[in-house]
Structure 1
C-alpha cells in the first residue's frame, strides 16, 4: 500500500518529479564569464571592469601607465585594483579574480621591479594556512599537505 497525499500523488511520484525538476534546473550552463567574451572576440561588459578613484582606467595598474622610477604604490589607500601591468608590460587576468585578496598583497600580482625575476616570492598568506586554536597557543600548518 502506497501513502498518498491529499491530492492523490504518492511519495514516490513526488520524489521522482522533484528529482527531474532539480536536474533540469541544475543542467543549465552559465557562460557569462570574461573568458567567454574574450574567446568570442567580444568586448567585456561594464560589470567586469573595475572603477577606481585614480586618474586613468586604474592608475599605475594599466597598460598605458609609465613611471621611469617605478615608485611604490598604495593600492589600499588609493582604492586601486592591482592588475599585472608594469610600465606598459603585462596582460589581463583571464581566470577568477578576488579583488580583496589582490589588494592585501599587491606585490604578488605586480612584483617589484628591483627583483628582475631572480628571487622567489617567499610570502605566505594566512588565508592559505590551516590554523587551529589550542589552549594558550595556536598551531599552523604551512604546507600543501595540510
Structure 2
C-alpha cells in the first residue's frame, strides 16, 4: 500500500449484533506498474456517535497507522448517508474543508454514491409477484 501512486477509498458504516457501529474502510490502489489492488483496509468500531467528524477521525487514524498520504486520494465512495456526504458536517465536507491542510486536490476528488445500497433498497420495495404477473402476461400474449 505504501507504493500506491493513486488510491481511492470506500466507506460503509453499519451496526453489528452488539449494537456497535462498525466503519469498514476499503482501499483501491494503483502502483507505478499499473497493478491494481483492492482490499479491506480496516474495520473500525465507532464508540458513541457516528458523525462525519467521528468517521473522518477514524479514517485519519487508519491512514496514519498505514502511512498513507491523503495527497494520493483521488476518489471516495460512500453509502450516501448525511454523516458521509453532508457538505458541511459529513465526512466529505470535512475532507473538503481540510483539503489544503491534508494536501488533497479537492477539485480533482471524485465522490461516488455506492449503487449497491440503492439496488438493495429497490429490491426490498419491489414485490416479485407484481413482476411475475407482468412477465406471465407478456409471455402469454395472444
Q: Give the TM-score normalised by the residue count of structure 2.
A: 0.23
- Larger helix percent: 2
Greater relative contact order (Cα < 8 A, sep 6+):
2
- Larger strand percent: 2
Q: Give the TM-score normalised by the residue count of structure 1.
A: 0.23
